Structure 1
Amino acid sequence: MQSPWPAAPEPRRAERVAAGVPDSAPTAVVLGGTGCIGRHICAAFSRQGYRVVTVTRRPVPRVAPHPHRRLDLAAAEPAALRAVFEDERADVVVNATDMAGATDATGAADGGEARAAELLDANEGLARRLVEALSTPARGPRLIHIGTIHEYGPGESGVPLHEDVEPAPANAYARAKLAGSQVVLDAARAGAVSAVVLRLVNTCGPYPTPAGFVGKLLPTLLAAAAAGEPPSVTVGGAMRDWIDVRDVAEAAVLAARRPVGGHAFNIGSGVCVSMRELVGHALAAAGLPDSGVRETAGPLRSLGADWIQADIGRARALLGWSPAFRLKESMRDMWDAGETSR
């Protein structure tokens, strides 16, 4: 992919040479590149020979040892975003932020009208500013926008969610995420930008977000292992599709390189498992007994339905992507890493 931006300023070129990156290497700019998903996306692009630049409010060198641009994405205007992309000669821009700060698939998703407006601005607002920043008469950088399976709404038990399902999000978080994804898809289909949306199921694997169920489970297991006692874990009867963050990262790289603009892709394992099975794999990885696990049949506080599974046929066909990590392996690698993304 040839960058539409002007030649890199000499200091940036010197930075590439010092880092051992060929001056001709393509550049991937990852917004939210130090988060749970972003850090793995950075690593995947780097493995493919890209020069990677992270954009966040604060650098986290130990998480993402790449060139960093400090920018408050919640407030950055299109001109500021465009200046970063031009300066870095971006070939790919990945929006890996979750600026809504959603609790997770087991937490509260609504919080009144004020919270709903905040969620909408964080998602749709940033998407609109990104589209404006990337709109150019020439072929601009490919935008990879990270969405969520919850944009479709609860769906029907036993029926995998396909991209052609009419979205019917059930809460403020999902509505805000859908609004952001729709802005990107509308702009791509109108020819204003080159972009795709990846709609993720629940994520797992090394360095999970501390806001999610898996990220909350890990500290519980670590504390139990340190104390030499069975952990106390309560799980509901929900069935979920889980995808390893490293599989998400590989999907992002493929989406950047394939001629698939204007599409949304479901990124999941295509397999639905119980929460009890997920916890069982985590306990086995930690070498802990399951005697402290309790199941509840009560109502779940969730972003989606009690049963979620993604149809991943489009990603297989158009991206050439398939998940590589099994749930058991993801839980083992999470345990071996030993910490959340913070």
Structure 2
Amino acid sequence: MPSSRVAVLGATGCVGRQVCAALSRDGHEVVAVARNHAPHVSAYPFLLMDVAATPAEKIAEVFLTHGVDAVVNATGGWAKLEEEMAYAHVRLVERLVEALTLTASAGHRPRLVHVGSIHEYGPVPAGVLIDESVDPRPATPYARTKLAGSQAVLAAGELDGVVLRAVNVCGPYTTQASFLGMVAARLRDTTAAEGLELSIADAQRDYLDVRDLADAVVKALSAPAAGRAVNIGRGVATDMRELVALLVAAAGFPPEALKEQDRQVESKGGDWTRADITLAGRLLGWHPRIDLPDSIRDMWLSLIR
């Protein structure tokens, strides 16, 4: 789309940070929105706002006042309690949808790009390629609340909304709430001589560099995808042990520094995820560019700088 003003909700998070950078590189003006300020958003106009706790009328007024042409919702993440996830994934999205409905009634209809999750589909048998026709059957609080938020966007016919169902991400500034982020933090705080004891899920999952996801968000701003859910991933299921081995190597540790423990791992998502990204290529003109070794290396470098 032509240069525009884009409000990025969750601008201080791992995904939001890269979305802001990608939008800026593409010539868009970014308005960063978050509950707390962070140094890396200082380059953009910043709005301190808890969207879930702000009246829809106020949100709509802010968007209209700032001349926002598009909104990206990159908020949310893992939390311990389902109530916390419902607040971030459902209440916030419903409030945002209400606000954008008000702006539409005022003659201003920004495109909404909502970052959902591949886990909204729920567990699928190993080997299944997950396309957008799969009937969502989420099995965890995270997946259930993410699906409810995505459905709120897709059900609002008066909105110009697109849902990107993203796979797990890695890459720079990956949150330590994620498995790989946790492993990276533990590696940073140990030595090769000490080694790292770790339980690894017997799982294969689709992982995508967060910068590739940000690129998909930018392309979704102008793509003919209103009212659609589009899967975003690498289209490859990678064994979790392979991912950990890449991280151990990026940290400069020998393979034997990893001491795998034989304990059951509680999965926050499915044991198998592999996204069919055909629709993303057709509607968005998007394809992943960054391979996993480079993504994991950059993830490690961002942690130790």
State the TM-score, normalizing by the size of structure 1. Answer: 0.83
1:133-152 aligned at under 5 Å gives the runs: 133-135=99-101, 136-137=104-105, 138=107, 140-152=109-121
C-alpha distance in 1, partners of 2:173/2:270?
26
Deviations 1:127-146 (A, max 9, x none): 22111211214351100111
1:111-130 aligned at under 5 Å gives the runs: 115-130=81-96
Runs (4 or more) in structure 1 with deviation over 6 Å come to: none
Deviations 1:230-255 (A, max 9, x none): 33333121111101100010000000
C-alpha distance in 2, partners of 1:308/1:158?
8
AA partner of residue 251 (structure 2): A
Shift of 1:295: 4.0
2:288 is paired with a residue of what secondary structure?
coil
Shift of 1:77: 1.3
Shift of 1:290: 1.6
Shift of 1:204: 0.2
1:1-342 aligned at under 5 Å gives the runs: 25-63=3-41, 65-98=43-76, 101-103=77-79, 115-135=81-101, 136-137=104-105, 138=107, 140-187=109-156, 190=157, 192-225=158-191, 229-295=194-260, 298-338=263-303
C-alpha distance in 2, partners of 1:82/1:233?
47
1:338 is paired with a residue of what secondary structure?
helix
C-alpha distance in 2, partners of 1:150/1:116?
15
Shift of 1:63: 4.7
Deviations 1:190-241 (A, max 9, x none): 2x1101001111110010111001111111221234x754333331211111
2:51 is paired with a residue of what secondary structure?
coil
Shift of 1:123: 1.9
C-alpha distance in 2, partners of 1:299/1:230?
20
CA contact (8 A) 2:51 2:95 kept: no
CA contact (8 A) 1:42 1:64 kept: no
Larger Rg: 1
**1:139 to 1:82, Cα distance in 2 relative to 1, 3 A:** closer
Shift of 1:120: 2.6
What is the aligned length? 302
Report the identity percentage: 46
Residue range with higher mean Cα deviation, 63-72 or 147-156: 63-72
Q: How big is the alpha-carbon RMSD for the aligned residues of Structure 1 and Structure 2?
A: 1.9
CA contact (8 A) 1:139 1:194 kept: no
1:7 aligned partner: none
1:160 is paired with a residue of what secondary structure?
coil
